């Protein structure tokens, strides 16, 4: 029969489970985010000797919000305390994810990430960017791991608290 490769088909149940879990994790980081309509920075999550995470609101509508999650460099005080060999360049990854939150469905999905524009559900194979067929699913799983790390090890500076005081 030969080596016949089965066409990739996204696992919708797995995708929905990851999206629901990501939503729950985001709601723990930003418990009152659904009430915010002003496009602005929302919070910073700081880590000891690790790059921080900045979360901003890019778009808000009745049932959805679009967030930007951006990994940023070290805080200045930690940079000074860190031990680096003379002449060694400080290397850290810069990641930016665009995440859509669906409050009515209680789901969150990665729309774009790691220098990509909007991600298709499936990448055709082969492709010039050498993307995996399930790249979007992998980024959604990575988002879940990243949010878990933030919840376990991060110190959250809530920037939107003053905005909420004026909502009525």
Collapsed DSSP state (helix, strand, coil) of residue 25: helix
CA torsion 13→133→114→163, rounded to 10°? -20
| Lookup result for tokens 């995996």 | 132
- The DSSP line for 63-121 is SEEEEEEEEE---HHHHHHS---TTPPP-----EEEEEEETTTTEEEEEEESS-SSPPS
DSSP state, residue 48: T
pLDDT in 10s for each residue of the chain, 168 residues? 556 667 777 688 999 999 999 999 999 999 989 888 888 888 888 888 777 889 999 999 999 999 999 987 754 444 444 454 433 444 445 678 899 999 999 999 998 865 555 565 655 656 566 566 577 888 899 899 999 999 999 888 866 544 444 443
CA torsion 168→67→9→105, rounded to 10°? -10
């Amino acid at each position: 029969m030969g080596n016949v490769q089965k066409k990739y088909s996204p696992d919708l149940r797995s995708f929905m489970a990851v999206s629901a879990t990501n939503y729950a994790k985001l709601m723990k980081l930003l418990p009152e985010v659904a009430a915010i309509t002003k496009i602005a920075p929302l919070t910073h999550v700081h880590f000891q000797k690790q790059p921080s995470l900045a979360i901003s609101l890019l778009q808000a509508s009745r049932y959805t919000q679009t967030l930007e999650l951006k990994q940023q460099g070290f805080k200045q005080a930690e940079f000074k305390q860190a031990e680096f060999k003379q002449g060694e360049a400080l290397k850290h990854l810069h990641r930016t994810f665009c995440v859509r939150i669906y409050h009515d469905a209680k789901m969150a999905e990665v729309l774009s990430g790691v220098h990509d524009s909007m991600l298709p559900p499936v990448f055709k194979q082969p492709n010039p960017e050498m993307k995996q067929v399930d790249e979007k699913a992998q980024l959604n799983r990575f988002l879940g791991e990243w949010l878990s790390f933030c919840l376990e090890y991060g110190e959250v500076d809530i920037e939107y608290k003053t905005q909420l005081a004026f909502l009525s």
